[in-house]
Chain A
């Protein structure tokens, strides 16, 4: 079952953020709340799935010399589509993700998967790869966002989980907290990997 193994690898073994260390900018910037993290993860997954399928389908007609500009055009088109769709139907989320929606274009995960996978595999496996990588990306975002939102605001997905008396650790939501949270998470993953 190649389809499922391609799908599963992105979630754990080759997790784009924790293992491959790609796409750091949106990970750190929009993980201030779980809602933003989920929104970003889904937007990026949508672009990843569409661009992976299209790039896999057009691999026969793309001359190798101009493949990178072609990939960029395909990715940028889907990013603009999701940008417009979110502005129309998910305005709040669109506002809070702001600049980082157009910046999905330069998210290394998407161009990286186009070059490393979709340009060499058929559409079905490319779809599996995109779903897996997208899920891995979203999962990592939600994990980081969960820690930051609970510590920094006392809530999870806007639901209060810590008592009102808890004085929020504001730094967790600010930029330094993003770096430090991800740093410790990666150290934790290194420990788990070391045990195996």
Chain B
């Protein structure tokens, strides 16, 4: 299997088979909180893809060249979350200065991303990830790519959810079901649909 084939496998896994939201339960707060409108969901999705890609790259370097050589693996959680927080802050400043238009649409979501567990999640998962052969651990490029693809997977389901919820506004629901309950049940049905990708027979 060539490298393109491996990338294809990684993409299918990250987006459909082990979707961050629906199968791994990561990034649920924005998934439920920012999915009421399609355009804000799109903004959030883009911001998450951006930060997840960068975070995967940086945390990989930190682990490989700082934590492992000096036997500091127990500082993994604390160093990763600080990296992510600093990264988010930095991205926010850069975008604000150089792309004010983009900042207007993404700005409000950026601070929320520090506590999006999908970002820390992908960084930690990358440290334990292996290729399909089960022997080669992820290298720098793989980790970065996995961050990007997992972010895409997050955005795909976020957009799908937002699309459904926009329509849901006009449907007649029992009063007690409105808002969060119906959103959760929707998510459950979506998760069920995504299980089809794995070939599960329930």
Contacts and interface: CB of A to CB of B under 8 A. Distances in A.
- Verify whether A and B have any Cβ pair under 8 Å: yes
Given A25-B29, A190-B175, A190-B176, A179 B185 contact: yes
Q: Using C-beta atoms within 8 Å of the partner chain, give the interface range for chain A.
A: 35 or more
Contacts of B195: 174-176
B168 to A, nearest CB: 13
Interface in A70-84: 72-73, 76-77, 79-80, 83-84
B187 A108 contact: no
Interface string A163-183: 000000011001111111011
A89 interface: no
B75 A80 contact: yes
B85 A72 contact: yes
Given A25-B28, A28-B25, A108-B29, A180 B82 contact: no
Interface string B164-175: 000000000011
B23 interface: yes
Given A68-B85, A69-B82, A179-B187, A99 B124 contact: yes
A182 B33 CA distance: 15
Given A24-B29, A80-B78, A184-B181, A106 B188 contact: no
Given A99-B121, A102-B124, A103-B121, A79 B77 contact: yes
A25 B25 contact: yes
Contacts of B183: 183
A35 B116 CA distance: 26
Nearest to A102: B77
A176 B85 contact: no
B32 interface: yes
A76 B76 CA distance: 10
Given A25-B28, A103-B120, A187 B22 contact: no
Contacts of A123: none
B182 A183 contact: yes
B87 interface: no
A25 B176 contact: no
Given A69-B85, A183-B182, A178 B29 contact: no
A84 B74 contact: yes
B181 A190 contact: yes
Contacts of B178: 190
Given A25-B26, A25-B27, A102 B188 contact: no
28 contacts: A24-B32, A25-B25, A25-B26, A28-B25, A28-B28, A29-B24, A68-B114, A72-B81, A72-B114, A77-B78, A80-B76, A80-B78, A99-B121, A99-B125, A105-B77, A106-B120, A108-B29, A108-B115, A170-B202, A177-B188, A179-B184, A183-B180, A183-B185, A186-B184, A187-B174, A187-B181, A190-B175, A194-B175
